[in-house]
Amino acid sequence: MMAASLPGAALAQGAARPVRILVPFPGGGTMDLVARLFAPTIGQLLGAPMVIDNRPGGGTVIATQEAARAAPDGTTLLMASNSFTINPFIQRNLPYDGERDFAPLAHVAVLPHMLVVHPSLGVRDLAGLVALSRSRPGGLSYASYGTGTSNHLSTELLKARTGGDFTHVPYRGSGQWLPDLLEGRVHMVLGILAEVVPPVREGRLTPIALAHGQRLAAAPGVPSFAELGMPDFASNSWFGFFTNAAVPEATRARLEAAVRAPLAEPAIRARFGELWIEPTGQGAGDFAAFLRGERAQYAEAVRLAGLQPQ
Q: Note the pLDDT tens digit of each residue in 19-65.
A: 999 999 999 999 999 999 999 999 999 999 999 999 999 999 999 99
Decide if 143 contacts 180 (C-beta within 8 A): yes
pLDDT digits (tens, 9 = 90+) for 284-305: 999 999 999 999 999 999 999 9
**CA of residue 86 relative to chain centroid, distance:** 11
Q: What phi-psi label fits residue 50: left (phi over 0), alpha (psi between -120 and 50 degrees) or beta?
A: beta
Q: Residue 70: which pLDDT band, with cuts at 50, 70 and 90?
A: very high
What DSSP element (H or E) covers 208? strand 206-210
**Taking the model in full, what pTM does it have?**
0.91
**Contacts with 243 (C-beta within 8 Å, 6 or more apart), sequence order:** 67, 74, 76, 77, 78, 102, 103, 105, 252, 255
